[in-house]
Amino acid sequence: MSAPLPNALRTRFQRHIEEGLSGRAAAMRLKLSPATGARWARLIRTRGHAHPAPQGRPLGRGKLAPFQAFFEELVTQDPDMTLFELRDALAMAEGLEAHHSSIAALLSRLGFTYKKNRWWPATGPRKCKAGPARLVDAPLACTAASAGTACIYRRDVHQDEPYLPAWSRSLR
């Protein structure tokens, strides 16, 4: 892929074209390739400017876009629905088969996020050497004392925050 050229250079090129230079002559003045000059001159004639087109696929397309309201309604009715349940509901209601990752991408674009609430760290409960089982704030709070007793980790819950369901709108 070629290197992107700045919009300031494209604007200077457009000024040269408007002064009456050909695309090749304007490209030679700005030390661009003749092919780039011809391409930018054609863009200026057709669109009126030589700014680059937006990259990527246009948003709002795909086979799930018409069912956006359907998914929003389902998620607001039952925020704890899994992606597989959403997929099955779409198949039963509309007769459309979709992959669960496509549904997850649509929900992400709509602003829904999945909040994980874990009771344990990713590796599971750790054994601590601190005597009998006790409630601690972090895995590093266990100190060496006696082997074989488990630490119980306090769940990080804030009293002033409302309960966030599995699929909830990102408020931050």
Q: What is the pLDDT of residues 39-80, one digit of tens each?
A: 999 999 999 999 988 887 777 678 898 999 999 898 888 888
Give me the sign of the Cα torsion angle 15, 18, 24, 26.
negative
- Range with lowest mean pLDDT among 38-42, 74-78, 107-111, 149-153: 149-153
The residue among 78, 99, 80, 75 whose CA lies nearest residue 88 is: 99
87-91: long-range pairs with CB below 8 Å, 24+:
none
pLDDT at site 63: 87
Q: What percent of the chain lies above the pLDDT cut of 70? A: 63
The residue among 60, 165, 160, 61 whose CA lies nearest residue 113 is: 165
**136 φ/ψ angles, rounded to the nearest 5 degrees:** -125, 165
- Residue 155 to residue 144: CA distance in whole angstroms: 22
Strand partners, 128: 149
Mean pLDDT in residue range 133-155: 42
The distance of Cα 21 from the centroid of its chain, to the nearest Å, equals 44
Judge if pTM exceeds 0.85.
no
